[in-house]
């Protein structure tokens, strides 16, 4: 009996259904369903298709950056300058508009500036070996400071009509271009992290960078690419946000760093690196979008939402630590 019992337990634990139910993503999905029904009960306007379409703007732009940020955090690093990259990219696009740039040129400028910002971060972290949290706090001030120097208290406007499609356009009925872009980017990052050697290298670096280096992984190159990729995603988000607002101000996207990191950690990515999934980040993005949209329908002030997001980040980071310590005490 003892032998049979010990042989059956691993089989049950290896069951895909059991693994799915026990996963963080499944728990988060249940929370999302609960929040959805609470919003339905709290406001009669929540289920309106156009309102739900507008709700996607609460998370799509941030989520696109969160996918890249997830890979950076999984590798054991962090990038707190993403919102400031948005401000600098938007400022460069606005300046180009004043010189007569058309929409394709604006997109090209955005990607180049975002990639350059990411490469600067990547050089300091991956090549120079500086701590990413220190570097990106510095570039957070640097990039936004440049935007303030260029713009001051002014704003750039007058973007081409075709440029408005990226942040305001609809592909079909209530399906926005941003939502389609969000889905496409999620699929691409899922493949990158979970189906390529680059993704496996990223996870290996986050678990043990020294062991990854000795196993033949070019740690510095991978980290550099991840920061460049994050800069490019921040640029894409800047295009969508600037298009949606129709203007550029140096204060654009202020505070997004906190929300993006919260989105990533809520999605199950280990803040210390080494583990995480893109589906988890997708679910977390939608959950946070529903929460902020639901609170907005109830006329909850923005500062209360900021407090909620801050508390959520603390709880999500603390919860796994508390569970781990509890298990150790029970086992001990």
Q: Residue 303: which pLDDT band, with cuts at 50, 70 and 90?
A: confident
Question: Taking the model in full, what pTM does it have?
Answer: 0.90
Structural domain containing residue 250: 55-321
Whether 17 maps to a domain, the answer reads no
Mean pLDDT, rounded, for 282-299: 88
Whether 76 maps to a domain, the answer reads yes
Q: What pLDDT score does 300 carry?
A: 80
Q: Output the domain CATH number for residue 85.
A: 1.10.3470.10
In this structure, are residues 313 and 258 in contact, taking their beta carbons and an 8 Å threshold? yes
Give the list of residues 6+ apart from residue 291 with CB closer than 8 angstroms, or none: 35, 308
Mean pLDDT, rounded, for 112-141: 97
Give one DSSP letter per residue of 97-141, joined into a string: HHTT--HHHHHHHHHHHHHHHHHHHHIIIIIT---HHHHHHHHHH
Q: What pLDDT score does 10 carry?
A: 47
Q: CA torsion angle for 285, 289, 292, 297 (degrees, to 10)?
A: -170
If phi > 0 it is left, if psi is from -120 to 50 it is alpha, else beta; for residue 299 that is: left
Q: What pLDDT score does 332 carry?
A: 64
Whether 18 maps to a domain, the answer reads no
- CA end-to-end span of the chain: 27
Mean pLDDT, rounded, for 259-278: 92
Whether 7 maps to a domain, the answer reads no
For the ranges 55-59, 207-211, 253-257, which has the lowest average pLDDT? Answer: 55-59
For the ranges 6-10, 11-15, 134-138, 298-302, which has the lowest average pLDDT? Answer: 6-10
Q: Residue 327: which pLDDT band, with cuts at 50, 70 and 90?
A: confident
Tokens standing for 230? 């994050």
Q: What pLDDT score does 221 carry?
A: 97
Q: Mean pLDDT for the chain?
A: 89
Q: What pLDDT score does 93 carry?
A: 96
Q: Residue 69: which pLDDT band, with cuts at 50, 70 and 90?
A: very high
Whether 44 maps to a domain, the answer reads no
Q: What pLDDT score does 316 carry?
A: 78
**Per-residue pLDDT reduced to its tens digit, 186-213:** 999 999 999 999 999 999 999 999 999 9
CA pair distance 118, 229, nearest whole angstrom: 7
Whether 302 maps to a domain, the answer reads yes
Q: What pLDDT score does 9 carry?
A: 41
| More confident site: 36 or 327 | 36
CA pair distance 114, 89, nearest whole angstrom: 6
119, pLDDT greater than 90: yes
Number of domains, the chain: 1
8, pLDDT greater than 70: no
CA pair distance 216, 20, nearest whole angstrom: 33
Q: Where are the alpha helices (DSSP H) in the chain?
A: 2-13, 16-21, 24-42, 49-55, 60-74, 82-98, 103-122, 132-151, 165-168, 177-194, 197-207, 209-214, 219-245, 256-266, 278-297, 302-331
Mean pLDDT, rounded, for 241-254: 94
**Per-residue pLDDT reduced to its tens digit, 9-28:** 444 445 777 777 778 888 88
State what percent of residues in the chain have pLDDT above 70. Answer: 95
For the ranges 76-80, 139-143, 278-282, 301-305, which has the lowest average pLDDT? Answer: 301-305
Give one DSSP letter per residue of 225-278, joined into a string: HHHHHHHHHHHHHHHHHHHHHSSB-TTTTTTHHHHHHHHHHHTT--TTSS---H
Q: Residue 319: which pLDDT band, with cuts at 50, 70 and 90?
A: confident
| More confident site: 20 or 156 | 156
């Amino acid at each position: 009996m003892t032998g049979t019992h010990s042989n059956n337990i691993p089989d049950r634990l290896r069951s895909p259904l059991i693994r799915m139910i026990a996963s963080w993503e499944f728990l988060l999905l249940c929370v999302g369903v609960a929040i959805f029904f609470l919003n339905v009960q709290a406001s009669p306007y929540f289920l309106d298709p156009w309102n739900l379409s507008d709700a996607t703007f609460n998370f799509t732009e941030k989520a696109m950056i969160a996918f890249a940020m997830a890979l950076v955090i999984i590798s054991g690093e962090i990038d707190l300058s993403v919102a400031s990259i948005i401000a600098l990219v938007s400022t460069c696009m606005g300046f180009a508009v004043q010189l007569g740039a058309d929409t394709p040129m604006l997109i090209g400028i955005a990607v180049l500036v975002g990639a350059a910002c990411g490469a600067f971060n990547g050089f300091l972290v991956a090549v120079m070996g500086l701590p990413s949290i220190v570097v990106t706090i510095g570039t957070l001030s640097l990039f936004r400071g440049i935007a303030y120097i260029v713009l001051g208290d002014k704003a750039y406007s007058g973007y081409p009509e075709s440029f408005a499609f990226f942040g305001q356009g609809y592909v079909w009925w209530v399906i926005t271009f941003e939502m389609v872009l969000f889905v496409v980017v999620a699929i691409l990052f899922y493949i990158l992290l979970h189906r390529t050697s680059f993704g496996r290298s990223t996870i290996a670096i986050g678990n043990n960078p020294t062991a990854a280096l000795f196993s033949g992984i070019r740690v510095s190159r991978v980290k550099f690419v991840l920061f460049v990729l994050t800069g490019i995603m921040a640029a894409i988000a800047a295009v969508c946000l600037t298009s949606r607002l129709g203007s550029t101000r140096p204060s654009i996207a202020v505070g997004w760093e906190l929300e993006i990191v919260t989105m990533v950690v809520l999605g199950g990515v280990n803040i210390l690196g080494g583990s995480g999934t893109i589906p988890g980040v997708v679910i977390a993005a939608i959950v946070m979008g529903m929460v902020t949209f639901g609170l907005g329908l109830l006329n909850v002030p923005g500062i209360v939402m900021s407090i909620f997001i801050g508390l959520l980040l603390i709880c999500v980071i603390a919860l796994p630590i508390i569970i781990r310590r509890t298990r150790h005490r029970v086992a001990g």
